[in-house]
Amino acid sequence: MKVSVSFLSSKNIPNDLKKLDNTDADYIHVDVMDGHFVRNKTMPFSEMKNIHKYTSKRLEVHLMVDEPEKYIPLYAELNTEYIIIHLELDKDIKSLLEMIKRYSIKVGLSIKPNTPISALVPYLPLIDEVLVMSVEPGEGGQSFIENTPNRINEIRDLLNEYNLKVIINVDGGINGNTVKKCYNCDIVTSGSYIINSDDFQEKISSLR
């Protein structure tokens, strides 16, 4: 199991990123929120682009924004492995996925807890990762939604049916207990469970 760490709940981002750089975390999960697609808003790119000063780890950028086309070129400049957009956008999803691919960056598609899994089907051949939201996106510290494992299993069955090698990542409420329910995933994304602890590496290890 790979572990991606979100710093959304961090009170001291530079310090926490430096600490994460000394762990075996696989990715830094960058939550980008515009205050429209979700209620909350994160720091502007002018500040976010300084992440590289504090960590050398690859980034997984989760765009919770109404206009991802404005953000994709910016985050493509960073040490980014994945850029993830939301399936629920009122946009031409296929064009946005193709835009990310043009930057030679892996493509992710995120799905909210109440969106039918079947809505993913047209896009599965175009993506590298499905990010399954196990909380409502936009706010850290929420509790894991209990039917999430069923949704993960449904996605895994779809991928097997179409013989597609797409990574499944689950994001939200991930801790030492809920991770056991996510055995069918390839990556788990955890935030407050790690960031609010005294020992980042111990918490990361408990998720593997």
pLDDT band (50, 70, 90) for residue 133: very high
> What total number of domains does the chain contain?
1
Residue 108 has phi, psi (to 5 degrees) of -120, 150
pLDDT tens digits along 27-65: 999 999 988 888 888 888 999 999 989 999 999 999 999
pLDDT tens digits along 64-88: 999 999 999 999 999 999 999 999 9
Predicted confidence at residue 140, as pLDDT, reads 64
Contact 195, 9 (CB under 8 A): yes
The structure tokens listed for 47 are: 């500040």
Q: Which amino acid is at 83?
A: I
Q: Helix, strand, or coil here: 192? A: helix
pLDDT tens digits along 161-187: 999 999 999 999 999 999 999 999 999
Catalytic residue among 171, 186, 198, 199: 171
Predicted confidence at residue 39, as pLDDT, reads 81
Q: Helix, strand, or coil here: 186? A: coil
Written as one string, the DSSP assignment of 6-17 is: E-TT-SSHHHHH
Predicted confidence at residue 36, as pLDDT, reads 86
The question of whether 171 is a catalytic residue gets the answer: yes
Whole-model pTM: value is 0.93
Query: What is the mean pLDDT of the segment spanning 142-150?
Result: 90
* Domain hosting residue 100, numbered range: 2-207
Tell which residue, 93, 47, 52, 49, has the closest CA to residue 69.
93
C-alpha distance across the termini of the chain, in Å: 5
Catalytic residue among 16, 31, 34, 128: 31
Distances from the Cα of 103 to the Cα of 82, 88, 107, 113, 153, angstroms: 11, 23, 10, 29, 31
Examine the pLDDT at 138 and tell me if it is beyond 80. no
Give me the CATH number covering residue 152. 3.20.20.70
Examine the pLDDT at 116 and tell me if it is beyond 90. yes
Query: What is the mean pLDDT of the segment spanning 143-156?
Result: 94
The question of whether 26 is a catalytic residue gets the answer: no
